[in-house]
Amino acid sequence: MANEEDQTNESVTEWVTFHLLDEKYAVNVTHVREVLKNTNISPVPGAPYFVLGIINLRGNIVTVIDTHSRLSLAASEPTDSTRIVVVDMDGQVVGMMVDKVEEVVNLKESEIDYAPNVGNDDSSNFIHGVSQRDEELLILVDLDKMLDLEEYRG
């Protein structure tokens, strides 16, 4: 019994899936703190182009980024399903505005495809890999790179 378990004991990671335009993306669940409904965001003058502003989350100030522009995607109008995914990267708490949050999926290591990376464009580095789920392709985002702190300061 134990042996059988070992054989199938391929490392499994959990991913929170969300929508941006027509595509489905995912971030590793270990970084996700909570998911909020869209609230009032106070703009920050002089912030990088992809920073929408800040929100007050139970007394803590959290920066909210526009995930669309961070990934060089076309903008989309906020709707009822717009959510802010609050992620924690080594103590840095950031909110990511997404079109819709869907579910948490388990992915085996073998299900993750490290697709060919084309060129050396900056934003293509944000992609950790892809995973085919039924008819859909899930794009796994590398949060470390997407929320590169150096770039925030720059």
Partner 1 sequence: MTQRDKQNFIVDEREALSAYFNALLTEENILVADKTAVVTEPLVKVVATPEALVAPPVVAPVVIPDERVGEIEAAPEAIAEPKWKEESFQVMLFKVAGLSLAVPLAELNGVQEWDEAIVTPMPGHAPWYLGLVNYRDKQVAIIDTARFVMPEDRQGKLAEEVNERLNRIVYIGDASWGLACDEVAEVITISPEQVRWRSNRTSRRWLAGTVLEQMCALIDPPVFAEMLEKGMGLEDLGV
> Which amino acid type is present at position 142?
D
> How many residues of this chain bind partner 1 (CB under 8 A)?
21
- Residue 153, token pair as written in the block: 């300061």
Residue of 27, 126, 140, 147 interacting with partner 1 (CB under 8 A): 126
How many CB atoms lie under 10 A from the CB of residue 95?
26
The verdict on 30 binding partner 1 (CB under 8 A) reads: no
Angle at 74 between CA 143 and CA 64, to 5 degrees: 45
How far, in Å, CA of 37 to CA of 103, rounded? 15
Residue of 127, 140, 143, 147 interacting with partner 1 (CB under 8 A): 127
Q: Is residue 94 within 8 Å of 65, Cβ to Cβ?
A: yes
Residue of 39, 56, 106, 124 interacting with partner 1 (CB under 8 A): 124
**90 to 119, contacts with partner 1 by CB under 8 A?**
113, 115-116, 118-119
Stated as kind and residue range, the H or E segment containing 83 is strand 83-89
At closest approach, how far in Å is the CB of 99 from partner 1? 13
DSSP assigned state of 109? G
The verdict on 34 binding partner 1 (CB under 8 A) reads: no
The verdict on 12 binding partner 1 (CB under 8 A) reads: no
The verdict on 11 binding partner 1 (CB under 8 A) reads: no
How many CB atoms lie under 10 A from the CB of residue 10?
9
The residues that touch partner 1, with contacts defined as CB under 8 A, are 20, 23, 71-73, 113, 115-116, 118-124, 126-127, 130, 132, 137, 139
